[in-house]
C-alpha cells in the first residue's frame, strides 16, 4: 500500500507506514497524494514536510528545471478535499475563504520581490484546485529553536550574535522595501546545511507607510511581539521587528523564552540577560534589553542602530568618539555546523527540512 505522506510502498495489509508512521487506513487524510501534479504537470508533489493551521508544505520537484522545491498549499483547518479540489467548510464561508486565500497569495507576492541569501526564495505563486500554492526553494537544516533544544543550553555569545547579524542584513533589505516581517522568532530562522542563515515564514508580513496608523493583522507570538503589535490599530515601523529580533537574541543567549510584552505591561519583570547568563558582555546585554524596550521611543529605530549597539557602539555611527569595543568573533560564526564537537552535518544526524 502506497503511503500518501512519504510515498513508501508498504505491505498490502499494513495499517501504518513503516517509514513515517502515517495511518494508511484514515479515510479523512487530507494531504495531496504522492506524485500529484500541479499546474498542468509543471510541479510534482512527493511528501509532506509540515502542516499548520493554515496550510500544508510538501517536498516536490519542478519538472522542467529538475530541481527540488518546497510547495506551500493554502489549506486552512476545517476544510476538506473532493479529489484534489479544496472545499471550504466549518467556520469558513466562501467569502472568508477567498479573502484568506488572497492574503496567502500576498505572502508569495511579497517574497517574490526579494533575491537575498537571507530570505527564503519564491519561484512562483498561483491558484489551482480551488486553493493557492507558493513554490519556494527547498531548504535543509535546522531552525534556531531546534538548535537550542538540541544544545540544551544557551548558545555562545559569538554564535548567537552572528546568527542575529545575518538575520539583520536580510531584515534591512525587507525594511528598505517598506515591508515588516512581524513574526521574527527562533522558529522562523533557518540555519541550512550549506551555511546560510535564512528568514522564513512571511505569513504575517505587511507593507507599511512610515508614521501612519494602520490596521494590524493581529498575528502575534507571545514573547517576541512588542506590545503595540497586539493593538488593532497602531503605527507600523521597523522598531516592531527590532523588538522581535532582540527577543530572539535574548532567547539564544539565555536559553529562556522572553516574558511576553502583555505580561510586562502589568508588572511582570523581564530578567536582564546577564542575570540569566553572566558570560554575556555588558554592552551586548544592554543592546538586547534596549531593543526590547516597552516604549518604542527607547528602542533602536532601525536595524543599523541596533547593530551599532550590539557591536558596542553608540547609536550614531557618525560620532567617532561614540565607538566602544567592536564585536570580533573568535571562532567560525557558523557554530551550528562549524563546531564538530557540538553539532555535525553528518547525514545520519537529525535534520529538519523547511521551506
Is the pLDDT reported for residue 355 higher than 80? no
Residues 196 and 328 in one domain: yes
Contacts 24+ apart (CB under 8 A), 86-89: 86/129, 86/130, 86/131, 87/130
Is there a single domain that holds both residue 126 and residue 154?
A: no
The answer for residues whose C-beta is within 8 angstroms of residue 39's C-beta and 6 or more apart is 126, 128, 133
Average pLDDT value over all residues in the chain: 84
134 and 147 within one domain: no
Tell me the backbone φ, ψ of residue 129, rounded to 5 degrees. 55, 30
Residue 25 falls inside a structural domain: no
> Is the per-residue pLDDT at 143 higher than 60?
yes
Do 132 and 275 belong to one domain? no
Q: What is the CATH number of the domain that holds 308?
A: 1.10.510.10
Same domain, 117 and 163: no
pLDDT band at 90 (very low <50, low <70, confident <90, very high): confident
Asked if residue 299 belongs to a domain, the reply is yes
Based on the domain organization, do 94 and 237 belong to the same domain?
no
**5, part of any domain:** no
On whether residue 235 sits in a domain, the answer given is yes
Greater confidence, 203 or 42? 42
In a domain, 126, yes or no: yes
152 occurs within a structural domain? yes
Considering 122, 138, 154, which residue would you say is the last residue of a domain? 138
Residues 300, 155: one domain? yes
Q: Is 72 annotated as a binding residue?
A: yes
Examine the domain organization and report whether 166 and 314 are in the same domain: yes
Which pLDDT score, from 0 to 100, does residue 80 have?
86
From 138, 165, 197, give the residue that closes a domain: 138
Distance linking the first and last C-alpha atoms of the chain: 28
| pLDDT (mean) for 9-15 | 78
Residue 323 has pLDDT above 70, yes or no: no
Q: Is residue 346 very low, low, confident or very high in pLDDT (cuts 50, 70, 90)?
A: very low
Domain endpoint, select from 111, 138, 165: 138
Query: 354 lies in a domain?
Result: no
Q: Is 43 part of any domain?
A: yes
More confident residue, 120 or 328: 120
Confidence band, pLDDT 50/70/90 cuts, at residue 79: confident
Percent of the chain exceeding pLDDT 90 equals 60
- Please state the domain count of the chain: 2
What confidence score (pLDDT) does residue 248 get? Answer: 99
Same domain, 300 and 223: yes
CATH number of the domain at 48, please.
Answer: 3.30.200.20
Which pLDDT does position 343 carry in this prediction?
Answer: 38
The beta strands (E) that lie in the chain are given as: 36-38, 43-51, 55-62, 67-74, 80-82, 85-87, 122-128, 131-137, 139-143, 179-180, 189-192, 197-199, 206-207, 213-215, 233-235, 352-354
Same domain, 44 and 147: no
Q: Among residues 59, 334, 330, which one has the least CA distance to residue 196? A: 334
Segments forming the whole domain that contains residue 152: 143-338
> Which residue did the predictor score with more confidence, 220 or 249?
249
Q: Note whether 129 and 153 are same-domain residues.
A: no
Q: pLDDT confidence of 25, banded at 50, 70, 90?
A: low
Same domain? 113 vs 239: no
pLDDT class of 321 with cuts at 50, 70, 90: very low
Residue 326 has pLDDT above 50, yes or no: no
Amino acid at each position: 500500500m502506497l503511503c500518501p505522506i512519504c510515498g513508501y510502498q508498504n505491505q498490502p495489509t499494513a495499517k501504518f507506514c513503516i517509514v513515517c508512521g502515517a495511518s494508511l487506513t484514515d479515510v479523512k487524510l487530507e494531504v495531496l497524494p504522492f506524485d500529484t501534479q500541479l499546474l498542468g504537470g509543471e510541479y510534482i508533489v512527493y511528501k509532506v514536510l509540515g502542516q499548520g493551521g493554515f496550510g500544508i508544505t510538501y517536498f516536490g520537484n519542478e519538472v522542467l528545471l529538475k530541481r527540488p522545491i518546497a510547495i506551500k498549499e493554502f489549506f486552512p483547518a476545517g476544510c476538506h478535499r473532493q479529489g484534489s479540489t479544496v472545499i471550504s467548510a466549518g467556520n469558513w464561508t466562501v467569502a472568508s475563504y477567498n479573502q484568506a486565500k488572497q492574503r496567502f497569495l500576498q505572502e508569495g507576492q511579497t517574497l517574490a520581490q526579494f533575491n537575498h541569501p537571507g530570505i527564503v526564495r519564491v519561484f512562483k505563486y498561483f491558484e489551482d484546485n480551488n486553493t493557492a500554492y507558493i513554490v519556494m526553494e527547498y531548504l535543509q537544516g535546522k531552525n534556531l529553536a531546534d538548535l537550542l533544544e538540541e544544545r540544551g543550553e544557551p548558545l555562545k555569545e559569538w554564535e548567537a550574535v552572528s546568527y542575529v547579524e545575518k538575520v539583520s542584513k536580510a531584515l534591512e533589505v525587507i525594511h528598505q522595501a517598506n515591508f515588516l516581517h512581524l513574526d521574527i522568532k527562533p522558529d522562523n530562522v533557518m540555519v541550512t546545511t550549506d551555511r546560510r542563515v535564512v528568514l522564513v515564514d512571511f505569513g504575517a508580513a505587511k507593507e507599511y507607510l512610515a508614521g501612519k496608523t494602520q490596521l494590524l493583522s493581529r498575528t502575534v507570538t507571545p514573547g517576541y511581539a512588542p506590545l503595540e503589535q497586539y493593538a488593532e490599530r497602531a503605527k507600523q515601523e521597523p522598531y516592531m521587528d527590532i523588538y522581535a529580533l532582540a527577543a530572539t537574541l535574548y532567547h539564544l543567549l539565555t536559553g529562556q523564552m522572553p516574558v511576553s510584552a502583555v505580561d510586562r505591561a502589568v508588572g511582570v519583570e523581564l530578567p536582564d540577560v546577564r542575570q540569566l547568563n553572566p558570560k554575556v558582555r555588558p554592552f551586548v546585554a544592554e543592546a538586547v534589553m534596549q531593543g526590547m524596550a516597552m516604549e518604542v521611543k527607547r528602542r533602536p529605530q532601525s536595524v543599523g542602530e541596533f547593530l551599532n549597539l550590539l557591536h558596542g557602539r553608540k547609536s550614531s555611527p557618525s560620532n567617532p568618539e561614540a565607538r566602544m569595543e567592536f564585536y570580533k568573533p573568535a571562532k567560525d560564526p557558523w557554530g551550528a555546523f562549524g563546531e564538530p564537537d557540538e553539532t555535525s552535518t553528518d547525514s545520519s544526524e537529525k535534520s529538519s527540512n523547511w521551506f
